[in-house]
Chains A and B, each alone.
Chain A
Amino acid sequence: MTTTGIPLLNIIVFLPLAGAIVSMLIPASASKVWSRPVGLAFALAELGFVAYLVADFPGGKAGFEFVSSHSWIGQFGISWALGVDGISLFLVAMTSLLFPVAMFGPAWKGNARSFLGWMFLLEAACMGTFLSLDLFVFFIMFEITLVPGYFIVAGWGGARRNYAAMKFFIYTFAGSAFLFVAIIALVVLDAPHNGGHETFSLITLAKISSSLPHADQVLIFCGFAVAFAVKIPLVPFHTWLPDTYTEAPTSGSMILAGILFKLGAYGLLRLGLYLVPRGAADMGPLLLTLAAVGIVYGSVVTVMQKDLKRLVAYASIVDVAFIVLGFFAFSSQGVTGGVLEMVNHGLTTGAMFFLVGIVWEKKGTLRFSELGGLQKATPILASIFLVVVLAAVGLPGLNGFVGEFLVLVGTFVTHRWWAVVATSAVVTGAIYMLWAYQRVFHGPMVEPEPSGDEAESELTGVGGVAVATRTKAATKVTDMSWAQIAAVAPLLAGIVFLGVYPRLFLDRVTPSVNYLLAHVEQEAPNAHVPAVTTQHVTFNVPADQNVLVSPAKTASALRGDASPAGSGAKGGVG
C-alpha cells in the first residue's frame, strides 16, 4: 500500500468540489470575465494531480494504492475510504481529461457560474465513485451524479430538455432502488461473518463474501445488475438514452456518454464481480447474452438513424455492450479489453459528441438529409472527424482496435458463439460510422432552403438560436477555430497514444484484472475462468487487502476435489 505525504485521492475528489463552490461564489458581475479562467485553473489543477497519480502509480501491482480511510458513520461501519487500483486508475485519468474539454471546448450559453458549478460537482461525484472503497460512499457518489446531470440537461439542453432530463433521472433513480437494497442486504447478510459488525468496506466484504449462501449472492448480484444495466445502459434498459443524449447540450452529452456510462460498467466490475463472484458467475451467461443482443440490436438501430447525434448516441449502446461482453467473458483479455474499451469509449465518444456539436454550430441541423459536402468548407473538421470515426470503427493503430480485439479474443476463448455474434458489430460499426461520415462530409453541400421549413428545423435546436445559425450557415461555413482544435487535441492524443502504445495501460490494468479474476475463479470454480490460474501468479497485493484464500482451502472447500493442481492462485503477499 503506497502512502504518500499528501492525501492525493482526497484532493482529487475534493478539488472539483472546491471548484464548484468557487464557481458559484463568483459574483454575477465578475462572472463574464472570471468564471472561465478560474474554472479552467481548477480543471487543469485537477488534471495535474491526476497526472501525478498516474505517474506515481506503480506498475505490476494488483491491489489498491494510495488508500486513505477515515471512519465516518462508525456505528454502521461506514468509512470514508478511497483507493485506486489499475482498473480505476485510467477511468480517473480519462475523467480528469474529458471534463476540461467538455467544460471549455463546446460553446454554451447561459449562466456560466451555475454551469461550471454543476460540472465541477459532477466531476467530484464521478471521481468519488471511481475511487471509493466503501459501498456507502460508492452509492452516494453514484446517486449524486444524477443531480448535476439532471440540471445540466434541463438547464442547457435542447427543445425537449425537461422531458429528457426527467426521464434520465427517474430511470436511473429507479434502478438505484435495487442497488441500494442490494448493498444493504449484502452488508446485513455479511454482518454475522464479520463478528456481528456491519461494514461497508469493499475489501472486507470481498473477503467474507464466500460465506454468503449461493442463492443470496445471485439475488444481490441481480440487484446490482439491474441498477448498473440501467446506467450503462444495456438493452433492454436503454430507452432513456437516445432522448437524454440527443437533448443534452454538447458538454452534457460528452460527459454523460464519456463518463456516466462508465460508472455503471465500473460498478458491475467492482461490485458485481468483486463482491458476489458466485452470483456474477451464475448470471454471467445472461449478461453476455444481453450484451450480444445489445450489439446486434444496437447496430441495426444505429444504421437506421436519420440524425447524427442520435446515431452517435445509439452507437454508444453498441460500444458499452462490448464492454459488458468483455467483463463477463471472465478471461483476462476480455476484462482487460473491457476496461480499455471503457477508456476508449470515453475518449472517442467524447470527441465525437464534441465534433457533432461543432457540426450543429456550423449548419444548425444534424439531419443527414440536410447535411453533406462539409469537407470542402471545413477540411480540418472533416479530417479530425475521420480520425475519430476510424478509432470508433477499430482501425489498427488507434485505440479502438486494441480494446475491441482484446474483448473479442477474450470472449472467444471462453464463450465462442457470443464472440462470433459480437464480431458482426465490427462490420456494422464500419457501415454506420463511415456512412455517417460520408453523408455529412462528402457529396454536394446541401444548401438550406431559404425559408418555409424554418419552424421545423428550429425544433432540432434551441429556440431561436437555430434560425440565426442557419442564416449564418447559409452565407459561409467556416472551419474549426484554433480553440476548438486545441480542445479536441488532448482527446486525439489519447486516441493515438493508446492505439500505438497500449502497454503503459496494460501493465497497470492487467495485474488488477487478473487478481480480480483469480478471486472470481476461486469463489466460483464453475465460472470457467481460464488462463489466470494456470500461470500460478503471485499477486502483488498488500496483506490487508488480500481476498484470496489459501490454495489448500480452495482445493478442499470450494473445488470439492482432492487435487491441488490447477487450484486457485496463490494468495501472495506483496
Chain B
Amino acid sequence: MSIALLASNLVAAGTPASTTTTVAKNCTVAPGGTKVVGLCTSANSLHISVAYRSIAPMLILAIGALVLLAVSAVLPKRPRVGLYPALTSAIGGLALLAAVLQWFDGAAKAGTVEIGGQIFYDRFSVLLLILISIAVILSSLASDGYLRREGLDGVEAYVLMLMSATGAMLMAEAGGLIMLFLGLEIMSISLYVMAAFHRRRTQSGEAGLKYFILGSFSSALFLYGVALVYGATGSTQFTQIASYLAGNVPANTGVLLAGMALLIVGLGFKVAAVPFHFWTPDVYQGSPTPFTGFMAAVAKAAGFAGLLRVLTQALGTQQADWKPIVWLLAVLTLGVGAVMAIAQKDLKRMLAYSSISQAGYVLLGVQAATTQGSSAALFYLFTYTFIVIGTFAVVDVVQGKGEARTDLGAIRGLARRNPLLGAAMLVLLLAQAGVPFTSGFLAKFYVIQASVDQGQYYLAVIAMLAAAVAAFFYLRVGLLIYQAPDEAEAPVSTPGGGDGVFLAGLEPVPSLDGNVATAVLQAPPSGRIRVPGATALVIGVSVLFTIAAGVSSFAIDFAKAAYSLL
C-alpha cells in the first residue's frame, strides 16, 4: 500500500515530460537530479508508504476521540447516563480488537519497520498497544462512577483519556526519537489536563500545575537529549543509531553520553524513577483517583517502552555506559519507594510511592538488557496495569464524595463495610507485595530471574529486600481492612513496646489511663459501601486477572512471544 503526497501529484501533472528523465512510471527527475517529481520510490525522499494496519489501534483511538467530541456536540448537554464511558470503552475495545489482530499478523510477528522507518511494527509494540487499550477500557469504566459522583461528567475526560492513550501508543510504536517525543507530548499534555480535572479541588489544580511544569521541564531535557544523540550519531532513528554505533566509534563520546543521560532523565521522569520522582506523590494524590490509576498504568508503560527502545535497541552497543546508571536508578527507586511509602498516612500518596517502588522492578528487567529481561519488564507492566487500575478503583470507592477521605483510616474496617471489596483490595495489595499465586509474584520472579541470569546477584537481593520492606506497608493496609472500625492497638506495657507500635506504623493510641495522648487514625466513615456497577466490573476483572496470571503461565508466554524476535 503506497501513496504519494498529494502535493507531489499536483506538481507532477504540470511538469513537461520532455525536459526531464522518467525514472519509473509517474516519476520524473530533472536533469542533474536537481528536481524530483512524482511517485518515486527511491529518489524522492517525500515518498512514504503508510501501512495503516500497523497504526490501526492508534488511529481508532484518535478518530474515536474526535467522534466522541462530534457526538457530544450534537447531543443535549446531559445525555443518557453512561453513554460516554460506554462509547469510550467501545472505542477502546475496537482498538483492542485491532491490536489483537495485529498480534497474529505475520508482519508484526516478523517485526518490520513501517511508515518511513518511523513506526516499529513488532510484537513488542503490539503487546503495549493491547495493554494501553485494556487500560483505556478499564479506566473509562472506572471513571464513570467517580465523574458522576463529583459532578464532573461530560465528554471531556474521555476525550482526554483517548488522546493520551493515543500518545502512549505512539510512544510504544515509535521507531525513532522524534516519534517518541511526539508521542510523549501528546500523552503528557492530555495527562496534565486530566490531573487538574477536578476543578473544585485545589489539590487537583496543584497536581496539574506541578505535573505540567515538571513534565515540560523533563520534556525539554528529553528533547535536548534527542538533539545531542542526533549530533553524535547523525540520526534519530533507532535502527540507524544502532547500526552507526555498531560500525563506528563516535567522534565525540561526551556528546553521546550526555545525550544518553538526558534521554534517561526525560524518560525516567515519566516512569517516576528515583531521583526523578518528586512530582509523583503530589500528582498521584491530587489527581482524580481513577485518572491516577490510568496515569500509573499508561504513562509508566509508555515510558518504559521508550526506555527499552532507546536503551536496548538504539543504544544497545553502549551497554557498558548505561547499565551502571540504570543499576543505580533501580536500587534508588526500589529503596526510596519502599521506605518512603512506610511513612505515608495518605492512601493515595502511599500508593504513589508504591508505584515508584514497582518501577524499580521494571528497571531491573531493563538493566538486564537481554531478551529475557525486556520480556520480564513487559510482563511486569502488563500485570501492573490491572493491579494499579483495580487498586485505585477501590480507593476511589472508599474515599467517598469529594475525595473526602484518602487517609489510611478511611480504609479501616473495609471488610465489614463491604466484604467483597475488602477481599479484592487484599488480593491486589498482596499482588503488589509479591505474594505467590498472584501475578505480582510471577512478575517479580521473571525480573529477578532475568537479573540473576546476568549475574546481578546483589541487585536481585536488594530488590527482594525492598520487597520485604514494601510488604510492610501493603500488609498494614491489608490489616486495617480487616480491623473492626473502632478497634485500636491495645496499649503496650512491656519494655520496648513503644518502638513496637512505631514499627507497626500506627500512631500510639491513647491508653485507658490516657498516658499516651497522641493522634490516632481517624475513624472510618460508617455504613455499607455501595460500588457502582462499572467500577465493580473493573475491580472484578483486575482481581481475576491478577489471580489467573499468578497461577498459570499464559501471560508470560504472551510476553515472551512478544520479545522472542527482537
Contacts and interface: CB of A to CB of B under 8 A. Distances in A.
Whether both chains belong to one complex is answered with: yes
Interface of A: 72-76, 139-141, 143-144, 146-147, 150-151, 154-155, 159-160, 162-163, 165-167, 169-170, 173-174, 176-178, 180-181, 184-185, 187-188, 219, 243, 455-456, 459, 463
Nearest to A220: B457
B560 interface: yes
Interface centre among A155, A170, A180, A455 (most CB of B within 10 A): A180
B497 A160 contact: yes
B492 A159 contact: yes
B475 A177 contact: no
A108 to B, nearest CB: 16
Contacts of A169: 471-472, 475
Nearest to A136: B445
A180 B448 contact: yes
B464 A72 contact: no
Contact of B479 (A162, A180, A463): A162
List the 7 closest pairs (A to B, CB-CB), nearest first: A177-B464, A140-B436, A174-B468, A73-B553, A163-B500, A173-B468, A159-B490
B553 A74 contact: yes
Contacts of A188: 449, 452-453
B212 interface: no
Interface stretch (B220-228, B315-323, B501-509): B501-509
Contacts of B492: 159-160, 163, 459
B493 A456 contact: yes
Contact of B464 (A141, A160, A181): A181
Given A159-B492, A163-B501, A176 B464 contact: yes
Given A73-B553, A188-B449, A455 B472 contact: no
Given A72-B553, A73-B556, A173-B467, A160 B479 contact: no
B562 to A, nearest CB: 13
Interface in B470-515: 471-472, 475-476, 479, 482, 489-494, 497, 500-501, 503-506, 512-513
Nearest to A246: B494
A564 B430 CA distance: 55
Contacts of A150: 475
A456 B441 CA distance: 43
B452 to A, nearest CB: 5
B479 A154 contact: yes
A307 B461 CA distance: 38
B468 A160 contact: no
B491 to A, nearest CB: 7
Contact of A185 (B452, B472, B476, B556): B452
Contacts of A151: 482
A491 to B, nearest CB: 30
B460 interface: yes
A171 B497 CA distance: 18
Contacts of B553: 72-75
Contact of A162 (B460, B464, B489): B489
Nearest to A462: B490
B441 A140 contact: yes
B435 A174 contact: no
Given A74-B553, A160-B492, A147 B430 contact: yes
Contact of A75 (B453, B461, B493, B557): B557
B325 interface: no
A184 B475 contact: no
Contacts of A74: 553
Contact of B504 (A75, A159, A162, A173): A162
A155 B461 CA distance: 31
Nearest to B458: A181
B452 A181 contact: yes
Interface of B: 430, 435-437, 441, 445, 448-449, 452-453, 457, 460-461, 464-465, 467-469, 471-472, 475-476, 479, 482, 489-494, 497, 500-501, 503-506, 512-513, 553, 556-557, 560
Nearest to A163: B500
5 contacts: A140-B437, A151-B482, A170-B468, A181-B457, A188-B452
Contacts of B557: 75
Contacts of B497: 160, 163
Contacts of B467: 173, 177
A150 B430 CA distance: 12
Given A154-B479, A169-B475, A163 B504 contact: yes
Contacts of B512: 455
Contacts of B489: 160, 162-163
A476 to B, nearest CB: 28
Contacts of A177: 461, 464-465, 467-468
Given A140-B436, A140-B437, A147-B430, A160 B490 contact: yes
A164 to B, nearest CB: 8
Contacts of A181: 448, 452, 457, 460-461, 464
A163 B506 CA distance: 10
Nearest to A459: B493
B457 A185 contact: yes
B331 to A, nearest CB: 14
A174 B338 CA distance: 13
Contact of B437 (A144, A160, A162, A174): A144
A163 B461 contact: no
Given A143-B436, A167-B500, A181-B464, 12 more contacts: A75-B553, A144-B437, A160-B489, A160-B500, A162-B506, A163-B500, A166-B504, A169-B472, A170-B468, A173-B471, A177-B465, A455-B513
B177 to A, nearest CB: 33
A163 B503 contact: yes
Nearest to B452: A184
Contacts of B494: 160, 459
Nearest to A150: B475
Contacts of B506: 162
B369 to A, nearest CB: 16
A33 to B, nearest CB: 20
Contacts of B430: 147
A141 B436 CA distance: 8
A321 to B, nearest CB: 24
A169 B468 CA distance: 8
Contacts of B493: 456, 459
Nearest to B465: A177
A180 B435 CA distance: 12
Contacts of B449: 76, 184, 187-188
Given A162-B489, A163-B503, A459-B491, A180 B464 contact: yes
B382 to A, nearest CB: 16
Nearest to A140: B436
Contacts of B437: 140, 144
Nearest to B502: A163
Contacts of B445: 180, 184
Contacts of A167: 500, 503
A417 to B, nearest CB: 34
A465 to B, nearest CB: 12
Contacts of A463: 490
A80 B209 CA distance: 52
A147 B437 CA distance: 12
B435 A147 contact: yes
A533 B501 CA distance: 55
Nearest to A143: B436
Contacts of B505: 166
Contacts of B448: 180-181, 184
B473 to A, nearest CB: 10
Nearest to B460: A181
A351 B131 CA distance: 53
A150 B482 CA distance: 12
Given A150-B475, A463-B490, A174 B503 contact: no
Contact of A459 (B471, B475, B490, B504): B490
A459 B489 CA distance: 12
Interface centre among A154, A181, A456 (most CB of B within 10 A): A181
Contacts of B504: 162-163, 166
Contact of B475 (A73, A155, A166, A455): A166
